[in-house]
Chain A
Amino acid sequence: MSMSEQQTLKQQVTLLELVDRVLNKGVVVSGDITLSVAGVDLVYVGLRVLLSSVATLEEPRERISAAGAAP
């Protein structure tokens, strides 16, 4: 394994990376024997709480336009 690969492996996992998986993915069990949060958009709720802004998450990004001026 190269140095750079080792570095990327050690890359610290951010909370937001976790949110993406823990809140958004995994087996969903629905039914009245569980306390179900299936109706809650967990990712949206979680990110709204954990980020100041999620506006950019709601739409696919269209950031660069050929005509766009430099900031």
Chain B
Amino acid sequence: MIAPTATLPRKGLGWYLYGVAAADEASARLGAGLAAGAAQEVELVTEGPLVGVASRVSLEEFDEQALPDRLSDATWLEQKIRTHEHVLERVLEHASVVPCRFCTVYRGEVELRRFLSERGEALEAALDRVRGRVEVGVKAFVDRDRFAAGRARQNDDIRQLEAQASTAEGGRAYLERRRLEQLVASELERFRGEAADRIHTRLLSAAEDGLVLPLQAPELSGRAEEMVFNGAYLVTADRVGFEEALGSLARDIRDDGIDLELTGPWPAYNFVPEELGAG
């Protein structure tokens, strides 16, 4: 982290930059769209071919020393995260956008404009990549019961053990059911990787680009079923071809116990360069 120099003003208003769009695409269409129903006043700062989508914010609120405390305030954090996404989603309805990381705050308009002009080339390249495209998220979950009743039965040992368990009695039946559960669990473990590969290959072929993301824990995914795949795809803004591929894939793997969940459209958070360097 780079410490602010002591001579820079710490009070007053700075600029919170949500993202960057192309001026030719954004200015006319965005002006009206952003003004309507905005929780926070959003302004378009045009610099050459680029437009910064930004809001004036209190530098005190986003002060580096104060920020760690702010970040530990769940109410503050949630409100800011939602505002960030909400603004970008409204931009996305009208124009392609390069999203900025949370809490990108400039000390003044001069600094913001300097960033847009000095990093213009990199920003335009990033914009070109996402132009006319959006990001979607795809997660896959496995339903254990459906997996056990369907896909797992392709395993001969499992079928055999199932037949034995169904005729066994008393203590032996219990032990065989336990063995069966363990066998299904190990079959599922093996199948997870296969399913993830299959899903990604299929979806990637219908997308401009795609990434495999880390799996999320159940408290993140909000679902009891186990996540077996988490991916992000850069797709055409109309999403037609991708959704067709997704629908057909979903039908194909449903009997294996896999359910797909689609999120988005998102600003292309996963498909912009992480580092643009010093401004």
What's the Cα separation between A27 and B276 when bound, in Å? 7
| B71 & A42 in contact (Cβ 8 Å cutoff) | yes
Instruction: Flag B1-35 by CB within 8 Å of A: 1 or 0 each.
Output: 11011001000001001011000000000000000
**CB under 8 Å from chain A, chain B span 77-112:** 77-78, 81-82, 84-85, 98-107, 111
Sort chain A's interface into a size bin. Answer: 35 or more
Given the known interface contacts A2-B247, A66-B182, the answer about A33 and B279 at a Cβ–Cβ threshold of 8 Å is: yes
* B interface, CB within 8 angstroms of A: 1-2, 4-5, 8, 14, 17, 19-20, 59, 62-64, 67-68, 71-74, 77-78, 81-82, 84-85, 98-107, 111, 114-115, 119, 126, 137, 178, 181-183, 185-186, 188-189, 214-220, 222, 226, 243, 246-247, 250, 260-263, 266-267, 269-270, 272-279
With A27-B274, A49-B72, A67-B182 given, name 14 new contacts (CB 8 A).
A11-B263, A22-B81, A23-B81, A23-B102, A25-B101, A28-B275, A31-B277, A34-B106, A35-B105, A36-B1, A36-B2, A45-B68, A66-B182, A66-B189
| A28 & B101 in contact (Cβ 8 Å cutoff) | yes
* A interface, CB within 8 angstroms of B: 1-2, 4-5, 8-9, 11, 13-40, 42, 45-53, 56-57, 60-61, 63-68, 70
| A30 & B278 in contact (Cβ 8 Å cutoff) | yes
| A13 & B263 in contact (Cβ 8 Å cutoff) | yes
- CB-CB under 8 A from A4, the residues of chain B are 247, 250
| B222 & A14 in contact (Cβ 8 Å cutoff) | yes
Name the residue in B77, B181, B217, B277 with the highest tally of chain A Cβ atoms < 10 Å from its Cβ: B217
| A21 & B269 in contact (Cβ 8 Å cutoff) | yes
In the complex, how many angstroms separate the beta carbon of A34 from the nearest chain B beta carbon?
6
| A31 & B102 in contact (Cβ 8 Å cutoff) | no
| A26 & B217 in contact (Cβ 8 Å cutoff) | no
What's the Cα separation between A56 and B184 when bound, in Å? 24
Q: Which of A28, A35, A42 contacts B64 (CB 8 A)?
A: A35
In the complex, how many angstroms separate the beta carbon of B207 from the nearest chain A beta carbon?
16
What's the Cα separation between A49 and B278 when bound, in Å? 29
- CB-CB under 8 A from A1, the residues of chain B are 243, 247
